Amino acid sequence: MPNSSLPAQSSAQTVVTANTDTTAPSQSPTININLPKLPASALRDPNLIEVGGGLIPGFKCSRENLLPTFLTISGIISVFFTVKYGVPHFFSKVDKDKDEEEGHKPKPPIIKKLSECLNSGGEPKPPIIPDILYYGGRTILAGRTGIGKSLLLDQLCIEAARGYGEFVDPEHSTPQHVILIDGEMEDDDYKRRFPKDLAGTENIIRVSDCEFKTIKEFTDFVKDLVSGLNFNTVVAIDNIAALFPNPTAAMMFEFYGNLKKIQREASITISYIIADHVAKVPVGLPLDESHLAGSANTTRFATNVVILDWDARGSDYRFLKNQKQRKNALPNEVLELVIDESEFLHFSKFGNAAEEDVLWTKTNRKRFGQEVEDDNDEEDNESAQPPKDDLILEEARSMRSLWEQGLTQEEIAQRFDCSRRTVNSRFSLLRSRGEM
């Protein structure tokens, strides 16, 4: 029989207090356990045993209560250390160790006086392409399907590599090294788009046949490309949809985040220019950042956004609008362009105009002498399209390019948001023209 002088089990209390004073870093944290004091006769009771082999001197309990008592004490200690050091701290340390093993050490924030920021780097460098691409900038070239984004991007690349051209000022620009990552065009397409003298092409590295399964795989490839360079480089990407069909917001967040990290950690200055599609918006309505694919992530990433759209003067005309520009104020007018095939396929500057005067609306097309099917006094048909044959042919060629890269008709249909029957129809058109 247990000694009757023992206090009742229900009245026994165990109180734990933790000394969390961190003013003495050399001392380990201590735990004070205040236990009910047992009478001397209880300490001699054979049914009571020491807990932990004397780890807590003078503390004994009954044999049948040994396990619950042990669990209570160990649980209290575990809770203390969890509160003291924190589960989040533990997991963050695990993540940190994993990052360090993989070589991904987080970059600490840069903290310095504003005067140092303003005095660093010397005089600002002139733009690579005025109003479009600046040193260390990130430009998004956006436009509708078939508008000519790839054509314009190729032209900007060759002019940046040459240091002169339609968009580049030779007095303030120097030839740039360019990496062109191409997800659409074939070699034959390039033969029509570059000058026959090939000037500047020695400064361009073209990457084609891109088959990246993940965002990380692609951005790791870009990182490897630029890591061995010792000269400033323009990285042009044509285009996001060709590399990653139907990207999610999470994918775009990873895509842009990884590209910015490469730019930030590189020993050279990297400037990006990336072609991107816009959402399906009726032609005749002005485009802006909200129409970009993954608009929130894209807008945060970009230092410049330029949009290429149809010009009401005719099917060979486009206009280029600066939608976002960090370096300078946005211009009040858009830049009109016309397709020029005199020596090679490219855009030539035509003039400047207010956007509302050149949007592809019925009123503007009439003013420029264009034929309008519905010639009545109703309001502009905002869904009116540029010449349908031109759009279909451009779309068919884009589909052919994907087919030559190995995509199935099903995958091409998903990318263009159409049926397989439409894909077959486009291919039939190309075969009738001898292009496939």
Note whether 239 and 435 are within 8 A (CB): no
Residue where a domain stops, chosen among 102, 129, 146? 102
Evaluate whether residue 414 is within a structural domain: yes
- Give the pLDDT confidence score for residue 329 in this predicted structure: 72
Count up the domains in the chain and report the number.
3
Evaluate whether residue 408 is within a structural domain: yes
Considering the domain architecture, whether residues 183 and 315 belong to the same structural domain is answered as yes
Considering the domain architecture, whether residues 265 and 404 belong to the same structural domain is answered as no
Residue where a domain stops, chosen among 55, 86, 102? 102
By residue range, what is the domain housing residue 74?
Answer: 9-102
Residue 208 DSSP SS3:
coil
Residues 6+ apart with CB under 8 A from 309: 143, 144, 147, 283, 287, 318, 319, 321, 359, 360
Considering the domain architecture, whether residues 89 and 176 belong to the same structural domain is answered as no
Considering the domain architecture, whether residues 72 and 175 belong to the same structural domain is answered as no
283-317 tens-digit pLDDT:
888 998 888 876 788 888 999 999 999 999 999 99
Evaluate whether residue 301 is within a structural domain: yes
Evaluate whether residue 349 is within a structural domain: yes
- Give the pLDDT confidence score for residue 292 in this predicted structure: 83
Evaluate whether residue 66 is within a structural domain: yes
Considering the domain architecture, whether residues 192 and 290 belong to the same structural domain is answered as yes
Evaluate whether residue 119 is within a structural domain: no
Evaluate whether residue 401 is within a structural domain: yes
pTM: 0.63
Residue 37 has pLDDT above 90, yes or no: no
Least confident of 57-66, 245-254, 367-376: 57-66
Considering the domain architecture, whether residues 188 and 60 belong to the same structural domain is answered as no
Residue 110 has pLDDT above 50, yes or no: yes
- The pLDDT confidence band at residue 388, using thresholds 50, 70 and 90, is low
Residue in 338, 353, 293 with CA at minimum distance from that of residue 141: 293
Evaluate whether residue 344 is within a structural domain: yes
Whichever domain contains 314, its CATH number is 3.40.50.300
Considering the domain architecture, whether residues 214 and 98 belong to the same structural domain is answered as no
Residue where a domain stops, chosen among 348, 368, 383? 383
Least confident of 111-125, 324-338, 397-411: 111-125
Q: Mean per-residue pLDDT for 394-419? A: 78
39-61 tens-digit pLDDT:
555 444 444 444 444 444 444 44
Considering the domain architecture, whether residues 233 and 348 belong to the same structural domain is answered as yes
Q: Where are the alpha helices (DSSP H) in 86-198?
A: 87-102, 114-119, 149-162, 187-193
Considering the domain architecture, whether residues 377 and 393 belong to the same structural domain is answered as no
- Give the pLDDT confidence score for residue 87 in this predicted structure: 44
Considering the domain architecture, whether residues 98 and 227 belong to the same structural domain is answered as no
In one-letter notation, the amino acid at residue 291 is: H
- Give the whole-angstrom CA distance, residue 160 versus residue 316: 24
- Give the pLDDT confidence score for residue 391 in this predicted structure: 65
Considering the domain architecture, whether residues 215 and 346 belong to the same structural domain is answered as yes
- Give the pLDDT confidence score for residue 246 in this predicted structure: 77
Please indicate whether residue 70 or residue 224 has the higher confidence score (pLDDT): 224
Considering the domain architecture, whether residues 367 and 428 belong to the same structural domain is answered as no
Note whether 323 and 306 are within 8 A (CB): yes
